[in-house]
Amino acid sequence: MLVLPGTFSLRSAFKLPEEPPTLFAFHPAPDWVYFMFPEAKIPYGPLIKTTARAYRVDPHLVAAVVAAESCFDPAAISSKGAVGLMQVVPQSMEEWELLLDPAYNLRTGVAHLNRLLEFFDGDLLKSLAAYNCGLGRLQRTGVIPAKGETPIFLRHVLEYYARFWSGAPGPSLAPDAPQEY
């Protein structure tokens, strides 16, 4: 390779791609994924594993969403009215009370996450962004929001996802956090 002065620079040689790489989730999750899930180390681990398996979603991903959304607090309520472990927005007052039940909240949240993973053909970033900011907003703009809550949410979920797959401890939890359901 002939390099003439002024024709090559390290900056141009190491340019980042214009778009981030597409990350795909195991969807539908193969059976071996459930055997790798460290349910004993994660609050609500058995319930997360059972619910994730029913919808064929990676339990590591579900636990990562729960950690990022509520830090495993089943009574968490956001400023926007989202409730429970997976921070689901209730459709009625009756559902608000139901969403405080960890099993119901996980079923509702995992079913929604499953639909998003199917809609985006397993594209993890788009599915998670739609979970956080809404499918309608993502469809209208066509891009994952670069500012605000969504990029922070994505970073947290991906960090927890990697931690749960590596077997490292999850978020710091209150000493009275339930270890099993």
User: What amino acid positions are annotated as catalytic residues?
Assistant: 69
Burial of residue 82, with CB atoms counted within 10 A of its CB: 0-12 exposed, 13-18 middle, 19 or more buried:
middle
Beta bridge partners of 123: 24
Contacts of 87 (CB under 8 A, 6+ apart): 69, 70, 76, 78, 109
Distances (CA, A) of 100 to 5, 142, 149: 66, 33, 23
Range list of H helices, the chain: 10-13, 31-35, 45-55, 59-70, 93-98, 102-119, 124-133, 135-141, 149-166
Torsion sign over Cα 100, 102, 103, 108: positive
